[in-house]
Amino acid sequence: MPDLVETLIEDDRWSDAGLPALAEQACRATLARLDLTPDQFEISLLACDDARISILNADFRGKPSATNVLSWPADDLAAEDDGGTPEHPETGFEGMPEELGDIAIAFETCTREAQEQGKAFSAHVTHLLVHGCLHLLGYDHIREQDAALMEGLEVEILATLGLADPYG
């Protein structure tokens, strides 16, 4: 079974935290929930620190501060109507998976948030990876009904992984 997520680790603390396995599990569960075959897709993940994600956040969103996770979808799959289901991505095939996009995740912010929320680090990171993967698939949380749809999917996907509702 080929990897769905190609992880580039810039901060070694992510290796110690087992990020590649968490990312593979979270993204596979997300695609499976949406009836997409994980082996037909590829996601790039940058495991970085707050300094690096601050630069990315400034460059791409005009917000010069650290954040937990950023996503860059390869294609705009978003639904036009608030609460509508995004389009399914084109599928790849064996040996030539379709690129869904890129995700970056910051160690210090994730650690701080998990501590502040009284959550296990791995559970919080898994939630953020599901969240980032859903962004690559056209889901968003800017409009009210879109947010409800995305959060509902996150809760369902996390439950399949034995994790509690992060919004409860």
The CATH number of the structural domain formed by 5-160 is 3.40.390.30
Annotated binding site: 131, 135, 141
Asked whether 4 and 43 are in contact (CB, 8 A), the reply is yes
Q: For the chain, give every domain's residue range.
A: 5-160
pLDDT for res 168 = 84
pLDDT for res 19 = 97
pLDDT tens digits, one per residue of 96-145: 999 999 999 999 999 999 999 999 999 999 999 999 999 999 999 999 99
Whether the pLDDT of residue 1 is over 90: the answer is no
pLDDT for res 92 = 83
Annotated binding site for Zn(2+): 131, 135, 141
Q: pLDDT class for 18, splitting at 50, 70, 90? A: very high
Sheet containing 5-9, strands listed edge to edge, beginning at the edge strand earlier in sequence: 5-9, 41-48, 98-106, 69-73
